[in-house]
Amino acid sequence: MTNDDIDWLRLQKALAVEAEKGFVDLVGKQYRFSEFLCLSFGKPPATLSVEERRRWQEMAMQFAEYHQMTQEERQSLVAAARRCLHLSQQVSEQQHLYALGDIEDKETRRQGGQGSNSSHQPPATSHSSDFPLSSTGVQMCAPTDSRIIQPKTSTLVSTKSSEINQRLAPSLEQPLTRLPEIGARRGEILAKLGLYTVRDVLLYYPRDHINYARQVKICDLEAGETATLVGTVKKCQCFTSPRNAKLSILEIVLKDNTGQIRINYFFAGGRYSHRGWQEQQKRKYPPGAVVAASGLVKESKYGLTLDKPALEVLAHPGDTIDSLTVGRVVPIYPLTEGVGADMVRKAVTTALPSLVHLKDPLPKALRDYYGFVEVREAIANIHFPADTDALELARRRLVFDEFFYLQLGLLQRQYKARQIANSAVLSPSGQLVEKFYQLLPFKLTGAQQRVINDILNDLKKSVPMNRLVQGDVGSGKTVVAVVAILAAIQSGYQGALMAPTEVLAEQHYRKLVGWFNLLHLPVELLTGSTPAAKRRQIHAQLETGELPLLVGTHALIQDKVIFQRLGLVVIDEQHRFGVGQRARLQQKGESPHVLTMTATPIPRTLALTLHGDLDVSQIDELPPGRQKIHTTVLSSKERSHAYELILREVAQGRQAYIVLPLVEESEKLDLKAAVDEFQKLQESIFPQFQVGLLHGRMSSADKDEVINLFRDNQTQILVSTTVIEVGVDVPNATVMLIENAERFGLSQLHQLRGRVGRGAAQSFCLLMGNPKNETARQRLKVLEESQDGFFIAEADMRFRGPGEVLGMRQAGLPDFTLASLIDDQAVLEIAREAAEKVMEKDPTLQRWSLMQAELTYRYQKLMGGTILT
Ligand code: ADP
Ligand code: MG
């Protein structure tokens, strides 16, 4: 490691002479002044720190534009270059002085780490299997000490150089408009992207990168790929289009020893037809000049070409290419009207040196344990990585950060909720629960038993339970909820069970009445259609505590509903309620235990993201004896097969559902479509059977009537919009025909399919539709192959993305910049584990003040500030 490879003196001299001669871009023997400087700064000595090397690269870039600059701009650039050289040279010399000391430093540290129990030398890392966040590890956790976040091997050097850089580089809070490289005008334009300060720019991650690092020969170009080629200019013309005076064309023909290509640039606007401008363009690419060109290869009428490539004139063919766009992995930023890619890239390179001010909030021990790069390196490389490996490491670290702070926030919320220790302590074993087990005509599945144990364990504690039970349709969630409710009642508390629709609430009620009668317990149903007199009676009995359990819809959260002693709240299909509605039911007691249930399982990444503050239990086993539902995807040409099957089944005394999705934008048209279909089916297809119609615009009394007729087999075929998705339970129904199946999510289809297969007979599900493409068809095929709600949800997310899968639930989904809930599950699991470990050591984060500050900042950004409320 010597600094022989850079001729400091020659550089300083060139700068001095250029200044003396009045910034004319002197022509030397081999190069112009600007070319020489560009080349020299383009190859910073290896002894410099990352930040300084970046500063050099930036200098190189600016000298590449030297020929276009005004006198003043040239003057200030030359001055900046002299300053930069001066400081780098100092550092480089100091490095020689410190090299020895650095080695000694490492030696002593190694001895300390080997556990020679010298008391004055705290061990650098603990040797337990988890990452060392122990209280003895204070030195790793005190982020205010800047030495700690420097790489070990060059502690002294980096400290020195970053001291220098900290003086040089603008602060993170510096407004962009105050940076000379950006200025007021560009600063205002960047503000359109929400970029006001240096920090904003550093954290403005590219949404993608294009790899131009691949250098190819002209004969090897292939359309559709991005590539860099180096060739000599054979011809260069710049002219106004003969057909359009407002359009100017720059045409360059490049050749290498394998062929040639023609590259065209089009400039729209009168000012480009100016002769002087056109001549200037031509001068940039004189015949014989060596040019590197990077871009997307595409077909044109002259053969293959590059689409608006970035160009860089090189000194000679073997020269290294040093540019923001040519021959490297180029960042692609989200842009907006009037803000160009070059401007953002320039802003980023201007901001990068300020990374020296950024301290890593993650303790080094944690980073090392999971193999994450330091935050400065990550941010530098997410913008301008040297290669795809560096990019991948940077991305992994920053994705971790996004997940980690979210998990930390969720766990902190959970921690705070658990500080309230005044919930009802419920007795898990007692008369009622025992009696109920005896009443059950079946044996609980292993999964049910396990989940019941989870719940009863929670209820024993004075910390409020907050548990989500996920389980497929028919997995037996109701029984589980009843056990919890009975535990509350036998301990002298009341319970409330809320469902999203009247149909579902009534069904729960009917089931519960049966069991509660046998247990000699009263239970009531409260919905929007409960008559006023009945409602008053219920209100009164709740307030006196006479009524131990109330089942119902949103009607439960009205002000007049007052419980005497609410100990447990159960919410079915919890995702159909808003956060506010759930909270209002909870407020009817003094921090009651909360049990939420859902039959629409979501993939693990989504569950961690949305419900990271809940405990989650899964009923992943169906009661024995359930038949597999025979599922087939049909095109609408095969409609006759579907009708034949329905005919055959109904003729044998079975029943069938035909579900129509919402197709039109307007509810009126939808309704008309459903009514038309119903009439067609009744009159011309199945005149020999009774057909019923169920849709969302009916009053609940009418709905009840239709459902009751179907339940009693008065109607054999039920035509319905998706209102039957939850709550209709008719074991005699064996066919589910779903029209336009491609319009539904897989989980929703799975739910609909769950309406059949409830009895002993073989059931069928027919998914009819015209998927637009092969992917859409493959998606439906998942249902032919699987009956596992978790597997189906996972597949659905891969096909359609997390937002679509969540549907109305996506409101709670954070706005990740880099992280993908589809591809980054492994990093999410690590983030969860790390957050759990941090919480274990110090839930208040007092020990890690930087981390706490970052958490507050991130959480607000990620969740739009909503989740903390
Ligand atoms: P879901 O999870 O969809 O709410 P339910 O609780 O409605 O499912 O249960 C579906 C049906 O299965 C009900 O008729 C219920 O009585 C029955 N069931 C529940 N658990 C078992 C079991 N362990 N063995 C047999 N049948 C069961
Ligand atoms: Mg249920």
Among protein residues, the one with the nearest Cα to ligand 1's atom 17 is 476
Same domain assignment for residues 437 and 582: yes
For residues 218 and 78, membership in a common domain is answered with no
CATH number at residue 325: 2.40.50.140
Longest dimension (CA), the chain: 106
Which of 309-318, 395-404, 669-678, 798-807 shows the highest mean pLDDT?
395-404
| Residues above pLDDT 70, as percent of the chain | 85
Q: Are residues 710 and 580 in the same domain?
A: no
Ligand number with the minimum distance to the CA of 504 = 2
Q: What is the DSSP letter of 215?
A: B
Residue ranges making up the domain that contains 593: 431-460+476-598
869 lies in a domain?
A: no
| Contact predicate 571/582, CB 8 Å | yes
Does the structure show a pLDDT above 80 at 655?
A: yes
Answer whether residue 820 is part of any domain.
Answer: no
**Distance from residue 133's CA to the centre of ligand 1 (Å):** 46
Mutate which of 445, 468, 475 for ligand 1? The one with the most ligand atoms within 8 Å of its CB, which is 475
Token pair recorded at residue 274? 């100016």
Q: How many whole angstroms separate alpha carbon 518 and alpha carbon 512? A: 10
Do 564 and 644 belong to one domain? no
Cβ 478 under 6 angstroms from ligand 1:
yes
- Ligand 2 geometric centre to CA of 471 (Å): 9
Count of residues in the chain: 869
Residues 733 and 643 both lie in one domain? yes
- Ligand 2 centroid to residue 518 C-alpha, Å: 21
> Which range among 78-87, 245-254, 272-281 shows the weakest confidence by mean pLDDT?
78-87
Residue, of 624 and 446, whose pLDDT is higher: 446
How many domains is the chain partitioned into structurally?
Answer: 4
Structure tokens at 812: 């709670």
Q: Give domain status of residue 500, yes or no.
A: yes
Q: Is 843 in the pocket of ligand 1 (CB under 6 A)?
A: no
Ligand 1 atom with the shortest distance to the CA of 471: 2
Q: Quick one: average pLDDT of 26-30?
A: 76
Q: What is each CA distance from 378 to 50, 352, 398, 558, in whole angstroms?
A: 12, 11, 7, 52
Cβ-count burial 466-480 (b if 16+ within 10 Å, e if not): bbbbbbbbbbbbbbb
Are residues 83 and 220 located together in one domain of the fold?
A: no
Residues 567 and 637 grouped into a single domain:
no
Indicate which atom in ligand 1 lies nearest the CA of residue 625.
Answer: 25
- The verdict on residue 395 lying in a domain is no
What does the pLDDT read at residue 342?
79
Q: Find out whether the beta carbon of 599 lies less than 6 Å from any atom of ligand 1.
A: yes
Query: Is 513's pLDDT higher than 90?
Result: yes
Find out whether the beta carbon of 444 lies less than 6 Å from any atom of ligand 1: yes
Minimum mean pLDDT range among 347-351, 365-369, 611-615 = 611-615
Euclidean distance between CA atoms 581 and 304, whole angstroms: 61
The Cα–Cα gap between 751 and 745 comes to 10
862 pLDDT more than 70: no
Q: What are phi and psi of 211, to 5 degrees?
A: -90, 100
Q: Which of 726, 759, 786 corresponds to the end of one domain?
A: 786
Which stretches of 384-531 are DSSP H helices? 388-419, 431-439, 446-459, 477-490, 502-518
Asked if the structure places residue 150 within a domain, the reply is: no
- Cβ–ligand 1 distance for 361 under 6 Å, the answer no
* pLDDT tens-digit series, residues 676-727: 999 999 999 999 999 999 887 888 788 888 988 999 999 999 999 876 655 6
- Cα–Cα distances (Å) from 59 to 34, 44, 74, 140, 353, in that order, read 11, 10, 12, 35, 12
The number of the ligand nearest the C-alpha atom of 476 reads: 1
Amino acid found at 835: A
Separation in Å, CA 439 to CA 442, 515, 519:
9, 8, 9
- Determine whether 689 is exposed, middle or buried from the number of CB atoms within 10 Å of its CB (0-12, 13-18, 19+): middle
| 3-state DSSP assignment of residue 572 | strand
Rounded distance from Cα 618 to ligand 2 centre (Å):
14
**Same-domain check for residues 708 and 776:** yes
Q: Which ligand is nearest to the CA of 622?
A: 1
**Do 586 and 683 fall within a single domain?**
no
- Expressed in angstroms and rounded, the spacing between residue 378 Cα and the centre of ligand 2 is 47
Q: Give me ligand 2 centre to Cα 808, in Å.
A: 20
Q: Provide the β-strand partners of residue 261.
A: 254
CATH code at 644?
A: 3.40.50.300
Q: What is the pLDDT of residue 811?
A: 59
Q: Would you say residue 12 lies in a domain?
A: yes
For 536, residues 6+ apart whose C-beta sits below 8 A from its C-beta are: none
3-state secondary structure of 95: helix
Count CA atoms within 13 Å of residue 348 on its CB side: 24
Residue partners of 464: CB distance under 8 A and separation at least 6: 417, 418, 420, 423, 591, 592, 593, 594
Instruction: Name 727's Cβ contacts closer than 8 Å, sequence gap at least 6.
Output: 499, 501, 503, 504, 506, 507
The CA 591 to ligand 2 mean position distance, Å, reads 25
CA–centroid distance, 210 to ligand 1, in Å, is 53
Q: Whose CA is nearest to atom 10 of ligand 1?
A: 474
CA-closest candidate to residue 782, choices 748, 756, 746, 754: 746
Tell me, in angstroms, the distance from the centre of ligand 2 to residue 781's CA.
26
Q: Are residue 575 and residue 722 in the same domain, yes or no? A: no
Better pLDDT: 7 or 624:
624
Residue 587, pLDDT above cutoff 80: yes
What is the C-alpha separation between 852 and 855, in angstroms, rounded?
A: 5
- Is 8 or 93 the better-scoring residue by pLDDT? 8
Which pLDDT tens digit goes with each residue over 108-162? 333 333 333 333 333 333 333 444 453 333 233 323 333 222 222 222 233 345 5
273 and 219 both lie in a single domain: yes
Query: How many CB atoms are closer than 10 A to CB 799?
Result: 17
Q: Which of 786, 820, 845 corresponds to the end of one domain?
A: 786
731 CB near ligand 1 (under 6 Å): no
Protein residue whose Cα sits closest to atom 4 of ligand 1: 477
Residue 725: predicted pLDDT:
56
Asked if residue 656 lies in contact with residue 719, where contact means CB atoms within 8 angstroms, the answer is no
Both 559 and 660 in one domain: the answer is: no
SS3 593: strand
- 477 CA → ligand 2 middle, Å: 6
Q: Is 315 a domain residue? A: yes
What whole-number percentage of the chain has pLDDT above 90? 39
- Domain termination residue (choose one: 725, 754, 786): 786
Residue 30 maps to a domain:
yes
